[in-house]
Amino acid sequence: MTKRLFVAVTVDDDVRDLARRCQSALTGVGPVRWVAPEAMHITIKFLGDTEIGQLPELLAVLQESALGQKEFVAVLGGVGGFPNSSRARTLWLGVGVGAAELRLLQQQVETNLAARGFPRDERPFTPHLTIGRSRELVKLPALPNELAHERVSCPVKGMTLFESRLGRAGPNYIPLATVHWIGR
């Protein structure tokens, strides 16, 4: 039996509030499915369908990856899109301060998982918080000036292994385990 899994950093209510306000400002941009605030997170590694028997090994990798990590702050704000803002399918809040730490964390998790036979993600990692998805390419308009320049800080104290259950109303994310930083 398998579970659809991913590793993520959770965000706080200040980030969710900014994301909600950005979603409201972008209403009408096109056929976008907005991410529910309670489902918002910064994905570190998408694992996909994973055998349940691998869960203990995954948790060991996350604990190993947490060694030496220290709490840091991620600052989020500004909206962008993948593949770009003129032709976006994924709409996101960017990460400024803290992006380097998130990249290092992602590399550590990726390296530790690869050493145990999990496939590497070959796409470059860009720290972001997804706020919406579209099946069609949409062009992002400029946000109102005060919203475009607003930034919020969020403490990053650990990472969580989630199960993603797909449903008609969208995905449901169930936290399976959280690993807090084990600073040296």
Spatial distance between the Cα atoms of 18 and 174, rounded to a whole number of angstroms: 23
Which residue of the set 34, 128, 160, 179 is catalytic?
A: 128
H-helix or E-strand spanning residue 112:
helix 99-114
**What is the structure's pLDDT at 153?**
97
> Which residue bears the tokens 């104290």?
157
Which residue of the set 40, 41, 66, 179 is catalytic?
A: 41
**What is the structure's pLDDT at 129?**
98
Catalytic site includes residue 128: yes
Catalytic site includes residue 180: no
Whether omega before 171 lies within 30 degrees of 0, making that bond cis, reads no
**What is the structure's pLDDT at 134?**
94
**CATH code of the domain covering residue 76:** 3.90.1140.10
Q: Residue 132: which residues within 8 A CB-CB, separation 6 or more?
A: 23, 26, 32, 33, 34, 35, 90, 91
pLDDT tens, residue order, the chain (184 aa): 999 999 999 999 999 999 999 999 999 898 999 999 999 999 999 999 999 999 999 999 999 999 989 999 999 999 999 999 999 999 999 999 999 999 999 999 999 999 999 999 988 999 999 999 999 999 999 888 888 899 999 999 999 999 999 888 778 999 999 999 976 5
**What is the structure's pLDDT at 182?**
79
Q: Residue 23: which residues within 8 A CB-CB, separation 6 or more?
A: 34, 131, 132
Q: Parallel, antiparallel, or unpaired: how do β-strands 158-165 and 2-10 relate?
A: antiparallel
Number of domains forming the structure of the chain: 1
Residue range(s) defining the domain that contains residue 106:
2-180
> Measuring CA to CA, which residue among 179, 181, 183, 184 is closest to residue 58?
179
